[in-house]
Chains A and B, each alone.
Chain A
Amino acid sequence: MLKIEHLNKSFGKTQVLFDVSLNVPDGRILGLVGKNGSGKSTIFHSILKFVDYTGKISIDGHTFSAKDYDDIGYLPEERSLMPKLTIADQVSFLASLKGMPAKKVKEELPDWMSRLAVKGIPMDKIKSLSKGNQQKVQMIATLIHQPKLIILDEPFSGLDPVNVDLMKQLILEEKRQGATIIFSDHDMRNVEELCDDVVMINDGRIVLNGPVNEIKNSFGLTRIFVRTDKGVAELMTLPGVKDVVLQNNGVKLLILKDEKYGKEIFDTLSAGQYIQTFDQEPPTLDEIFKMKAGARHE
C-alpha cells in the first residue's frame, strides 16, 4: 500500500502542498483530480523523490528503497522520447534502468506493440512515429517491466477517443494483474469510470478523499434526469427543486435540495402514467469537485 502522511511542500516561500495524506491500497486505482497547478504533479514528484518535502511517504510500511523504485512505472505529464533512437533502443534503455534485461524486452516488445496497436516495427525510429503512436510507445516503456505501482500523470491527454479506450483497457488489465495505480486527470468521467478511490485536491489541499461511490452517495441522490414536456419554469415549482438544467438530448436535469423529494417529483411528473426517462442519481464527480473547489474559494 502506498501511504502519504502529512505531506507539505514549498518552493521558496510559496507553499504548494498542505498536509496532504492519502492511501492507495494494493490492487486499487486512485484518481487524483484537481485544477491545473493544484499540486497533483507535485504529489507525484514527491513520491518519486524529484523534490524535497516534509512528511512521510511509504510503500508497504517502509520508505522507498532503490528496489521499490524499480517497481514503479511512471508516465509523466509532458511526454517525449529520444527521436533519434529506435523504439527497441528507447524501450530497452528505459526498461534496463528498471532492472529488466534487454533480451526480455526484445522478446516482449512486439507483443506490447501489437496490444497497443502501435504501427511499425521495433527497429523504427521514434521520429518516424505519429504523436499518438509515440505516446503508446511511452506507455509501453512505463508498463513493460510489470511495475507494482503505476503512476500516470494525465495519461489520456492528447489521445483520440479510440486510443483513450485502448489505454483504459490497458489500465484495467494492469489492475487485474494486481498493480496499484494512481493517476491524475482533468476529465472526471475517466475517473468515475476507472477509479476505485478518488482524491480531490484544490490549491494544495485535499478537499475530498475516499471511494468514488461512497463520495458520490454521500452527496445524496440529488440529481433527477427526466424527459418531460414541462417547461423549466414549471419544473422549478416542483418540491425541493433548486435548479433545472437543460441537457443536450432533450433530457432535463433537476437539482434537488434533498434526495427525499424524488418520489414526490416522480409522482407529480408521471401522474400514474408511463414516463420515458426518470433517473435519480448522485451528483457527478465533476459537480462535486466544482462544489468543493468553489466552497474553498468562498
Chain B
Amino acid sequence: MNKIWLVAKETYRREVKTWSYLLMIFAPFLFFFLSFGIGMMTASNSDGNYIGVVTANPALKQAVKKSDDFDNYATKAKAQKAYKDEDIDGYVLVEQNNNQLSATYYSSEKMDDDVKSELMANLHAVQQQLNLSQAKLTAKQSQVLATQVKFKQSVKHTEKKSFSSDPVKQISFWALLIILYMLVITYTQVTAQDIATEKGTKMMEVIFSSMPGGDYFTGKILGIFGEIVTQVLIYVIGFAGVYFAAPYIDGFSGVFKQYKPMIDQAIGNLASWGLLFTIIGLVLFIIFAAFCGALVAKSENANKAVGPLSTLMLIGFLFTLNMSTSGDTMFAQVLSYVPFLSSFVMPARVIMGAASNWEAAISAVIALAATVGSFIWIRKIYPSLILQTDDVGPWQNFKRSLLN
C-alpha cells in the first residue's frame, strides 16, 4: 500500500479510536436525543391528556373522533371519572335543546385557545347543519347559502427579502457560522496536538528514514481530513435520518411539516457555496495547525503555538457574527477575499444575498490557491521543522528549519 495512505490510515485509526473523538462526534446526538426525550416526556405529561366531549349529536361525535385533542365519552359520569383519574384535562358537556347546541367546559384550568378554536369550529359546523335543516330550505336555497368566499393569494416580490426579515437566510447564516467555527476550532486543536505529540516522542527520524517527510505530512493531512469527513458524514446521516423520520414521529411531524420548506431552503444554501468554503477553509486551517504543531518541541506547548491561528479564526467568527447586524460593509467585502477569513465572510455574504456567484467564485479560487500554495510550502519545510527537537521556541525553530 502506498505509504501516504498508510500514514493517513494510521492517523485516522489512532484518532477515531479515542474516547475524546467518539464523545465529540456523538455529543450532539446525545444532546439531541436527551432534549427530544425530555420534550416528549414533558409533552406527554402536559399536552398528552385529551379533553372529553359528552354529546349525543352524531355529527359532533364524528368530528371529535377525528380530532387529536378530543375524546368522546358516552356519559357525563364517565367523563367525570376520567377527569378524576387525570386521564383528561377536562370535559365539555354539549347539550342540544330546540336545535341549539350549548357547551359547558368543566376543568380546573381555562381551555387552551387553539383547542377552544377547534372545538368551536366543530360546534359551529354542527349548529349550521341544524340551522339549515330547521329552515327547511330547498336544494337550491341550501346550495346558495353554502356558497363560500373564494380566496386566492397573488404575491409579487418587488424586492428581495432583506436578511433580517428572511428566516431562511438567518437559519442558513447561523448554521454555517456555527458549523464552520466548531469544525475549525476542533480540528486545529486536534491537528496541532497530534503533530506536537508525535514530534515530542522524537520518533519522527525513524519514520522519515522510511519515507520522505513531505509524504508523511500529506498522509497526516489526509488522515485528519478523513476524520472530518467521518464526522460530517455521521452528522449528515444523522440529520437525514431525522429529516426522513420526522414526518412519522408523533408530536414532531406537525412542526416539521410546517418548517420543512424553510429547512429545505436552508440546506440548499449550505450545500452550495457554504460547503465549498467550509472545506477549503478547514483544509487551510488544518495545514497551518500542522505547521504550528511542528514549531514546538513539547506537546504541552501545542495550544500556545496554535494561538495566532485561533485568534485569526476568532476574528473571522466574530466579524461574521457582527455582519448579522451591521450587514455587508465595505470591510466585509474586502475580508471576503482574504484567505482564512473568506471562509467565514464570503459564504455569509452569499447567504445574505450581498455577493454574486462570480464574487464567490473569485474568492474561492483565491482561497484554493492559498491552500495549495501553503500546502506545497509547508510540505517542503515540514521535515526540517519536525526534526528540530531543541526547545528553542517556535520562531527560532522556524528559522533553523529554513537553514536545513
Contact = CB atoms under 8 A, between A and B. Distances in A.
A180 to B, nearest CB: 15
Nearest to A41: B205
Contacts of A79: 202-203
Contacts of A51: 384, 404
B212 A80 contact: no
Contact of A94 (B198, B210, B383, B403): B210
Contacts, number: 66
Given A12-B403, A78-B389, A97-B6, A49 B203 contact: no
B201 to A, nearest CB: 4
Interface string A84-128: 010000000110111000000000000000000000000000000
Interface in B188-218: 198, 201-203, 205-213
Chain B interface mostly: helix
B208 A70 contact: no
B334 to A, nearest CB: 39
Given A51-B404, A52-B404, A97 B207 contact: yes
B211 A69 contact: yes
A183 interface: no
Nearest to B10: A93
A221 to B, nearest CB: 41
B3 interface: yes
A48 interface: yes
Contacts of A75: 206
Contacts of A74: 205-206, 209
A141 interface: yes
A36 to B, nearest CB: 14
A78 B403 contact: no
Interface residues of A, number: 31
A48 B208 contact: yes
Interface string A62-90: 00001001101011101111110100000
Nearest to B389: A78
Contacts of B202: 76, 78-80
Contacts of B203: 76, 79-82
A83 B207 contact: no
Given A76-B206, A82-B203, A97 B403 contact: no
Interface in A145-193: 151
B164 to A, nearest CB: 50
Contacts of B211: 66, 69, 97
B201 A69 contact: no
Interface in B1-37: 1, 3, 6-7, 10, 14
Contacts of A72: 209-210
A83 B198 CA distance: 10
A72 B403 CA distance: 26
B387 interface: yes
Contacts of B205: 48, 50, 74, 76, 78
A12 B404 CA distance: 8
Interface string A21-53: 000000000000000000000000100111110
Contacts of A274: none
B293 to A, nearest CB: 15
A122 B203 CA distance: 19
A78 B10 CA distance: 23
Contact of B209 (A11, A69, A138): A69
B119 to A, nearest CB: 65
Contacts of A76: 202-203, 205-206, 209
Interface in B376-402: 383-384, 387, 389, 400
B389 to A, nearest CB: 7
Contacts of B389: 78
Nearest to A47: B209
B257 to A, nearest CB: 49
Contact of B387 (A50, A70, A94): A50
A181 to B, nearest CB: 15
8 pairs of A and B residues whose beta carbons are closest in the complex: A97-B210, A74-B209, A76-B205, A12-B403, A78-B202, A80-B201, A80-B202, A48-B209
10 contacts: A11-B403, A48-B208, A50-B205, A69-B209, A72-B209, A75-B206, A76-B202, A81-B203, A93-B10, A94-B210
Interface of B: 1, 3, 6-7, 10, 14, 198, 201-203, 205-213, 383-384, 387, 389, 400, 403-404
Given A48-B209, A50-B208, A82-B198, 6 more contacts: A48-B208, A69-B209, A78-B202, A78-B389, A96-B6, A97-B3
